[in-house]
Amino acid sequence: MTILANRSGDQRGRPEGPDDTSPFVPVGEVARYSAPRATIDPDTSKSWLKRALPIMKAHRGIFITALVLSFVGLVLQVQIPDLLNKAIDNSIQHHTVPLSHYVWWVVGLGVLGAITGYISRLFLFKTAYNIEFDLRNIIYEHLTRMSFGFYDRVQSGQLISRANSDIRSVQMYMTFAPMILVQCAIAVVAFGYMLSINVLLAFIAMATMPFVYLVGVKMRKSMFPVSWLIQARLADVATIVDENINGVRVVKSFAAEPQQLTSLAKAADKVQWGYIKDADLRARWAPAIQNLPQVGLALVLFFGGYMVIHGQLGLGAILAFSFYLLMLQAPFMMLGMIIMMGQRAAASADRIYEILDEQPTVVDRPGAFDLVECEGDVRYESVDFAYGGADGPLVLEGLDLHLSPGETVAMVGRTGTGKSTVARLLTRFYDATGGRVLIDGHDVRDVTMNSLRSHIGIVLDEPFLFSVSIRDNIAYGKPDAPMADIEAAAVAAGADQFIAELPGGYDTVVGERGYTLSGGQRQRIAIARTLLVNPPILILDDATSAIDVQVELKIHGALRELMKGRTTLIIAHRLSTISLADRVVLLDQGRIVADGTHASLLASTPLYGEVLAQAEEQEAAFDREPATQGVD
């Protein structure tokens, strides 16, 4: 919600018009971070790996270098069995070449192999972490653009799982699979050396490799469904853990720990079943992939030994063949691992693409312009709205409401009548399904969301604080604000006194969601955060509900002063809060049914008195309950 303003006097940059030569300066601040070099291919008809190729291509320089160096290191290793063959024939049997000649060659190849291996692995891991960085930022950037309707139906644990474990699975396969394939490709080089020694024995040695391929295909087909199931069930566990941590106060207040442990145990049992099934498939197929090359070794010993005995092959040659086959065992053992990694990565990629392929429903229209200067004239014209789209039940129906610039209006209504929805439509958290919402005569759908929201300050009934210092929480919407402004906002919100009593003052770091503070303290910090931004339009969504009446009265004086010249919509239940308003509107069955002062509505509208009485009863009942979040 940070604002980038170009102030000349008190003017911001505006879009260029026919008679306006002033430069255009956007209101919304541009993110300052190292953006991913590429993104996922949006073509859903492609395989998951082809869709991820743009990210790999973005890092192809360092990645190809790693693969080439890995291949060079393996080629150096392949030379050693050939040197041993020559050493046995030329130095040990025929004494034509000094043995030290081959010893130094082996040592030199070992040193070069170590150097290329070090650089190769260093570059490989840098590539892996770069790809992980890109994937994580792609997902998070996409999540920041998603509409509120998306978050209404998606569990946070599912998102956390896909942004962590699923990304790691995809990253591991994208970087290490090519490396393993390079190591498997060294079989071609080794096979060339074996052909140079003895053609017949070379084909005998490689006779089992087609069977390795066929077993790998069978293994891949059987493991994909299980891999997908494991990733999905891990996300279910993450969801349960996330909800229990965030809802720990509810869990403990109902002594529901055993119930939640049972839920977690059931989810963990399902994950365990998936892992056991996965292990069963590995145990069934992996030994075949790993041991088939050893059958080739047995064939080499049998046929090669026969050739050596009958003088058709040298002793060094059969030793070289044995070394080559032993050298090939490791890549083929890893071939089984790459198949398992591939199936898990495919399942994880499908889950990631489910998020990335879903597009936000609330976006800037083509040609949307920045709302640069805002007077604060707000108008709702015949507004209809239904959660879930046009097919859902209407929450608002034919709503008409006008807030003049600088006017303070309190909105009152029964619980569930859509009061908060009215505020959400103004900020375009959702779009109206019918009618229009206007600011200064502009349809809110015609202006950019960043500029729209930069002019509207909201204090919600459930204040959310970040796990940072109180100073940073207050300055969240204006990070570069001077300390004097931060303190002034805290004073205006009635928060300065309890902040001064904290051990670290404004530098005190609050716990997750601010739960180290009481509900009223959190709400005052939230009010200060909004006041610091100094928006021309202010929405207080039952913002003083968790504040003690005495504390609320102290804040009201500052609020009245700050509301001057500012268009304010107060969603309220308390009479003390309603008293801040110039007029009151009564919302019932999705539309405004009464409009006037508090006194006139009490005198003319029985429903208004009933709503206030019901609100007082609910508040009294709440006050009689034992406090669970501290005192104000």
Three-state secondary structure readout of 423-450: HHHHCCCCCCCEEEEEECCEEHHHECHH
In a domain, 605, yes or no: yes
In a domain, 53, yes or no: yes
Query: Would you say residue 459 has pLDDT above 70?
Result: yes
> Cβ(495)–Cβ(528) under 8 Å?
yes
Instruction: Report the amino acid identity of residue 263.
Output: S
Predicted pLDDT at 243 = 66
CATH number, residue 343: 1.20.1560.10
In a domain, 96, yes or no: yes
Q: What would the two tokens of residue 38 be?
A: 């590429």
Judgement on whether residues 225 and 134 belong to the same structural domain of the protein: yes
Q: Which of 501, 534, 567 delimits the end of a domain?
A: 534
Q: In this structure, what DSSP letter does residue 535 have? A: -
β-pairing, 434-439 vs 442-443, is antiparallel
Q: How far is CA 36 from CA 58, 72, 122, 139, 279, in A?
A: 9, 30, 21, 11, 36
Q: Which of 534, 555, 584 delimits the end of a domain?
A: 534
CA–CA separation, 285 vs 294, rounded Å?
Answer: 15
Predicted pLDDT at 19 = 44
User: What's the pLDDT tens digit per position in 527-585?
Assistant: 888 888 888 998 888 766 656 666 666 667 656 766 778 899 998 877 777 888 889 99
Judgement on whether residues 490 and 403 belong to the same structural domain of the protein: no
Q: Which of helix, strand or coil describes residue 482? A: coil
Q: What would the two tokens of residue 491 be?
A: 């004073």
Judgement on whether residues 438 and 478 belong to the same structural domain of the protein: no
User: What's the pLDDT tens digit per position in 20-73?
Assistant: 444 445 555 566 667 778 888 889 889 888 999 999 899 989 999 999 998 888
Judgement on whether residues 230 and 317 belong to the same structural domain of the protein: yes
Q: Residue 83: which H helix or E strand, with range?
A: helix 60-86
CATH number, residue 607: 3.40.50.300
Question: What does the longest C-alpha to C-alpha distance in the chain come to?
Answer: 120
Judgement on whether residues 292 and 211 belong to the same structural domain of the protein: yes
Average pLDDT, the chain: 79
In a domain, 334, yes or no: yes
In the chain, how many domains are there? Answer: 3
> Cβ(64)–Cβ(128) under 8 Å?
no
| For the chain, percent of residues with pLDDT exceeding 90 | 14
User: What's the pLDDT tens digit per position in 417-432?
Assistant: 888 899 899 999 999 9
Q: Residue 567: which H helix or E strand, with range?
A: strand 567-571
Judgement on whether residues 241 and 190 belong to the same structural domain of the protein: yes
Judgement on whether residues 481 and 596 belong to the same structural domain of the protein: no
Query: Would you say residue 632 has pLDDT above 50?
Result: no
CA–CA separation, 312 vs 323, rounded Å?
Answer: 19
Judgement on whether residues 327 and 385 belong to the same structural domain of the protein: no
In terms of Cα–Cα distance, which of 344, 367, 407 is closest to 174? 344
Q: Mean pLDDT over residues 427-451, rounded? A: 92
What pTM was estimated for this model as a whole?
0.70
Name the pLDDT band for 16 (thresholds 50, 70, 90): very low
Predicted pLDDT at 377 = 93
Judgement on whether residues 491 and 599 belong to the same structural domain of the protein: no
Query: Would you say residue 454 has pLDDT above 60?
Result: yes
CA–CA separation, 383 vs 396, rounded Å?
Answer: 7
User: What's the pLDDT tens digit per position in 149-179?
Assistant: 888 787 777 787 777 778 888 888 888 888 8
Domain extent at residue 610: 376-455+537-623
Name the pLDDT band for 147 (thresholds 50, 70, 90): confident
Write down the H helix ranges in 146-164. 148-153, 156-162
Q: Mean pLDDT over residues 118-147, rounded? A: 88
Contacts of 573 (CB under 8 A, 6+ apart): 412, 542, 545, 612, 615, 618, 619
In a domain, 111, yes or no: yes
Judgement on whether residues 487 and 414 belong to the same structural domain of the protein: no
Judgement on whether residues 439 and 496 belong to the same structural domain of the protein: no
Predicted pLDDT at 401 = 94
In a domain, 39, yes or no: no
Predicted pLDDT at 191 = 78
Query: Would you say residue 341 has pLDDT above 50?
Result: yes
Q: Mean pLDDT over residues 110-117, rounded? A: 88
User: What's the pLDDT tens digit per position in 211-230?
Assistant: 776 776 777 677 767 777 77
Judgement on whether residues 471 and 514 belong to the same structural domain of the protein: yes
